[in-house]
Structure 1
């Protein structure tokens, strides 16, 4: 016996209807825009304590939340494909290398986590978790965990678990908390604005 699960529309569905002949065009346009935003967010360094932060994890999770699981995953996968093809779109590129060599480096697990997190957060958004401050914050926290798990596991293979946590997670926790608060305020506010309009 199958259950009928009612999916909540995502923010992108509410702004640009996902139906009929424009479905493919809509997906392509949003994925290209999303991958460009990811590339930009990887290059912008925000001064923060204890280390400067990029806005990349925020953009990954917001893409998942705004686009939903499938389009969010596809958008982040497109970004990774662009990077694998040699475009200098990752944080620290081209100085730290480009293409597959960069992706197989110490941050490779986090890149995998980006794809998984966009899908997970998108799945939660499709169930209405992007409508309230508490549920948006919870979805963002879950998304951050999904990014850190493969990231730390991958980095641990090179430097050991303790150093992976010390250098690959701890310096970023405060920044991730600030991004979580920002998203928890922004997504419900975007829905309120849409409902008024």
Structure 2
């Protein structure tokens, strides 16, 4: 059986809201499972974002990211390193905001590309989504880290883990498609 994304129209409003909130909760849970790095922690949040985008599509993925960001802006401790690194707008003044913006962008990029094909397309979509996370993340991080250290601090420590997350996410979606 070929995996296909969940189409939002296939569900009623209540189910779409429930899926969106569950996906936002999964993003928050992923943010809390982390390996400490400075200034940006490595978390399972990107895995959650990529799988949600590839599984639910760009619209529901973006809605989930929006719900997650709204919870964080409201002061709930959903962001990685919160409440220690601050809550709400205070947290968003820190070095990770660009990566959060990139995650919203990744929902669109990954969701759109993943709908185009099978397992290989999902892997490529997740790779493109990862790039979509890094670009605004590094732009924002450049305000906190000297330019000559930017790639060493904002990319290099995370590359192997991100490639592993892409493999895990792709395989997880493949397994789900066989069960569905």
Same fold, TM exceeding 0.5?
yes
Structure 2 equivalent of residue 4 of structure 1: none
Question: TM-score, normalising length from structure 1?
Answer: 0.82
1:89 Cα offset (Å): 0.6
Gaps of 5+ in 2: none
1:52 and 1:108, CA in 2 relative to 1: closer, same or farther beyond 3 A?
A: closer
Alignment of 1:13-24 (within 5 A): 13=7, 18-19=9-10, 22-24=11-13
| Contact preservation (8 Å) 2:41, 2:80 | no
Q: Which has the larger radius of gyration?
A: 1
Match in the other structure for 1:104: 93
Distance change >3 Å, CA 156–CA 141, structure 1 → 2:
same
What is the CA distance between 1:9 and its match in structure 2? 4.2
Task: Report what 1:158 is aligned to.
Answer: 144
| 1:114 partner SS | helix
Question: Structure 2-normalised TM-score?
Answer: 0.89
Q: How far is 1:164 from its partner?
A: 2.1
SS in structure 2 at match of 1:18: helix
Mapped partners of 2:25, 2:163: distance in 1: 24
Residue 103 of structure 2: aligned partner? 114
1:44-123 alignment to 2 at 5 Å?
44-45=33-34, 53-123=42-112
Distance change in 2, residues 1:172/1:138 (3 Å) = same
Aligned to 2:95, the other structure's residue is in SS state coil
Structure 1 segments unaligned to the other structure (5+ residues): 1-7
RMSD: 2.1
1:153, 1:161 within 8 Å by CA — same for their partners in 2? no
Deviation string for 1:44-101 (max 9, x for gaps)? 13599xx973210000111111110111111101101110110001110000111011
Distance 1:65 1:54, change over 3 A: same
CA contact (8 A) 1:156 1:163 kept: no
Contact residue 87 and residue 98 of structure 1 kept, 8 A: yes
Classify the secondary structure of the residue corresponding to 2:76.
Answer: coil
Equivalence for 1:136: 122
